Amino acid sequence: MVLHYKDQHYKSIKARCQRDGRLFEDSAFPASDQSLFYSRNPPPGVVWKRPQELVQSPHLFAEGGISPRDLQQGSLGNCWFVAAASCLAGDESVWKKVIPSPHEQDWPTSASHTHAGVFRFRLWRFGQWVELVIDDRLPTVGGELLFCRPERKGGAFWCALLEKAYAKLNGSYEALDGGSTAEALIDFTGGISEPIKLLEENLGSDVEKKKKLFKALIKAYSRSSLISASIRPYPGQSEEEVLSSGLVTGHAYSVTSVRSITLRSGLLSLFQTHKLRLIRLRNPWGSGEWTGAWSDGSEEWKRVSHSQRKKMGVTVSDDGEFWMSWDDFCTHFTDLTLCRRVNTSFLSTHKTWTQESAMSAWNQDPSPLKDRSGGCPNYKETYLHNPQFSFDVTLDQDCALISLEQEDRRTQRSSGQGGNLPIGFFVFKVEVNRKYRLHRTPCRVSSSTYINSRSVFLRTELQKGRYVILPTTYSPGQTGSFLLRVYTDKASQLRELTQDVPKPSWLSCCLGTPRLVTSVTVHAASGLSVLGKNQDPAVHVTIHCEGKKVTSRTVRGRNPEFDLKGVFYRKREQRPIVVQVWQSNCLRDTLLGSVSVPCTAGEIDQTSVLKIQGKEGRSAGYIMIETSTSSDLTML
């Protein structure tokens, strides 16, 4: 489903303009100073012109189609956007979604068709695709485009028009002054952004780690991830300072290729070979390149055959695009951003993920869930007031990709409120049957960093079980909407926990209402007695309470680690909880032993090593159980 921004529909606008014989003028984003800047005056002599007033035969794409070399950054500090647009142009499956039906939109080549001056673009924003309609009036000074422009005169205008659509979505061109390539890549793809801080990865002293990252980069590039890189300025360095290497600090470069090539040398060249890892980048300025090894025209290229250089697209010109070795890249660059388009198509031969998503908000509504904006764990009294989401890992082990994205505040920059909230999240392993909100902090298994970015990302390996995600702002009382997305191998049943305790039913007057809540964790068993000759049994454990049961994953060995958690809302204090250990068989499971665990109010956080009673009174080993019981139903 596509949302039409400002309820403007491209086809109806185009048909109306062609019928009336006029060019479209967009009143929702007028050709005026208010569309340019909100905090400063535009430069003198700004004139809004259409491309046909600038060149004789304008085109959306240059001859030969769309290319990462089509664009140059203008006078706006939006290299992050231009770098992302360069990545966009390198992948047909991406740009065709952002620029729908380009041939239909292009300037007509015959007099039989009239140009309506209207264009459309689609951007992914906060969980849905948004279609924006713009006119083709662009700001110029002295007959030259003020902002993003074609690399050569008479070239492609797609990027200048896309930039205008992006400015419209964000309120003005000035709203694009400073930003994150990761944000733009998400808007172009609907994917999830994974930041990699190269300095913190300590790649200089860990050769294997460096090889592993390059392998992951090749894999991501081959699966159409969009990639950008930048150099964080050191203390004392200015933004966009040109270094002696030709690279620019605080500058967003687009990664346009990742290659591993084989080099041969010496008389025994058939036998003496080594792999060379190369990466190609593009400067959004359209000029200014790396001057070290493997730069344009460097001596190193003589070791690569002419045919291979041609295949790799090696050019010797100051076009802003250059190659460098992976080692040099890791030495000079500080940050990588991978925008992954997570594959959810079951018809694909590549790794397929299942996606679950949920929309929610941090707010200060006092009911029914307190203030729902409790801040990070530093604020112990309010932390668990935040929205809570549970999801399930159904495999014995699964990789989960988790993305938290807040609503874009760039449109609020004109009022001085356009900064992102510092956000992050924690992942807890909870009881496998938990349906209600947490009121005590359980065991943390993973967490993201807290950062004032539009989105934060986490990749984590998880064991089978149920988990709770707590997305939070860093400080309490901060409000805003957010989108939470979870990708796993199997469906995870992501859902928001909205109830604190079980609701009383109409049978409560007859059967009673829960008075106690007990949390039970079975950690491990040891010395299991096994029937028959199998000395390495497949076993699982169950917990029973007042007709309810939870079951662990099946594990092997005489000393298995179960880590099974269950929570029970109990009506009868005197009835014990029963823990049973079973040997898993194809036809019928065999009970190895069981133990009754008394759990009365006041027995808080009690850990016991209990003997399991097997058949005919024989010992079946020992099991470690942790219990916690409270008469306050909101405590666990």
Tell me the pLDDT tens digit for each residue of 379-414.
Answer: 999 999 999 999 999 998 899 999 999 998 888 777
Q: For residue 352, what pLDDT band results from cuts at 50, 70 and 90?
A: confident
pLDDT number for residue 507: 61
Structural Rg of the chain based on CA atoms: 30
Catalytic, out of 59, 115, 251, 385? 251
CA distances from 583 to 537, 542, 625 (A): 7, 11, 19
pTM of the model: 0.86
Could you tell me which of 384, 389, 471 has the C-alpha nearest to residue 425?
A: 471
> Strand locations in 179-295, DSSP E?
192-197, 226-230, 253-264, 273-282
Looking at residues 583-590, what average pLDDT do you find?
A: 84
Q: How confident is the model at residue 297 (pLDDT cuts 50, 70, 90)?
A: confident
Q: Quick check: 597 and 575 in contact, CB under 8 A?
A: no
Per-residue pLDDT at 217 exceeds 50: yes
Active site includes 251? yes
Q: 258 or 345, which is more confident?
A: 258
pLDDT for res 267: 46
Yes or no: say if 132 and 53 are a contact pair by the CB < 8 Å rule: no
pLDDT over 60 at 269, yes or no:
no
- Is-catalytic flag, 283? yes
Residue 501 has what pLDDT?
Answer: 86
Torsion of Cα atoms, 184 then 189 then 193 then 198, to 10° = -70
Buried (b) or exposed (e) across 504-540, using 16+ Cβ within 10 A?
Answer: eeeeeeeeeebebbbbbbbebbeebebeeeeeebebb
pLDDT of residue 521: 92
pLDDT band for 532, please (50, 70, 90 cuts). Answer: very low
Model confidence over 87-107: pLDDT tens digits?
A: 888 888 889 999 999 989 999
Q: Determine the average pLDDT of the residues in 455-483.
A: 94
Cα 74-82-135 angle, rounded to 5 deg: 70
pLDDT per residue over 112-168, tens digit each?
678 999 999 999 999 999 999 999 999 999 999 999 988 766 678 999 999 999 999
Q: Write down the residue that tokens 């191998």 correspond to.
A: 489
56-65, 329-338, 596-605: range with lowest mean pLDDT: 596-605
Residue 330 host element (H or E): helix 326-332
51: left (phi over 0), alpha (psi -120 to 50) or beta: alpha
Is residue 79 part of the annotated active site? The answer reads: yes
The mean per-residue pLDDT over the stretch 542-570 comes to 90
* Residues 388, 500: Cα–Cα separation, whole Å: 11
pLDDT tens for 472-521 read 999 999 999 999 999 999 999 999 999 988 887 666 566 667 888 899 99
Whether residue 368 has a cis bond before it, omega within 30° of 0: yes
In this predicted structure, what is the pLDDT of residue 264?
Answer: 63
**Could you write out the DSSP letters of every residue in 224-242?**
T-EEEEE-PPPTTPPTTPB
How would DSSP label each residue in 447-469? E---BSSSEEEEEEEEEEEEEEE
| Calpha distance 578→44 (Å, rounded) | 82
406, 480 Cβ separation under 8 angstroms: yes
pLDDT at 219: 87
E strand or H helix that includes residue 322: strand 321-325
Residue 86: what are its φ and ψ, rounded to 5°?
Answer: -65, -40
Task: Enter the tokens of residue 368.
Answer: 């029914």
Please say if the pLDDT value at position 317 is more than 80. no
**Which among 79, 148, 159, 376 is annotated as catalytic?**
79
Decide: 542 and 552 in contact? Cβ < 8 Å. yes
Q: Are strands 71-72 and 149-150 parallel, antiparallel or unpaired?
A: antiparallel
pLDDT for the residue 46: 94
pLDDT band at 367 (very low <50, low <70, confident <90, very high): low
pLDDT at 159: 92
What does pLDDT average to over the chain? Answer: 87
Q: Catalytic: which of 78, 283, 386, 420? A: 283
What tokens were used for 274?
């080594």
Work out the pLDDT band at 447, boundaries 50, 70, 90: very high
| Number of other residues whose CB lies within 10 A of the CB of residue 286 | 21
Higher-confidence residue of 304 and 47: namely: 47
Higher pLDDT, 179 or 277: 277
Considering Cα of 101, then 102, then 103, then 106, what sign does the dihedral take?
A: positive
Name the residue among 520, 546, 522 with its Cα closest to residue 621. 522
Confidence of residue 603 (pLDDT cuts 50, 70, 90): low
- Residues forming a β-bridge with 134: 119
Look-up: residue for tokens 């009336």?
A: 20
With bands split at pLDDT 50, 70 and 90, how would you rate the model's confidence at 347? low
DSSP state of 434: -
Residue 604 has pLDDT above 90, yes or no: no
Report the pLDDT value the prediction gives residue 268, as an integer from 0 to 100.
46
Lowest mean pLDDT among 333-337, 569-573, 612-616: 612-616
Q: What percentage of the chain carries pLDDT values higher than 90?
A: 47
Residue 391, pLDDT score? 97
Average of per-residue pLDDT across 538-546: 92
Residue 286 pLDDT exceeds 80: no
Identify the residue whose tokens are 């590549």.
350
Interval 41-91: pLDDT, tens: 889 999 999 999 998 889 998 877 887 778 888 888 888 898 889 888 888
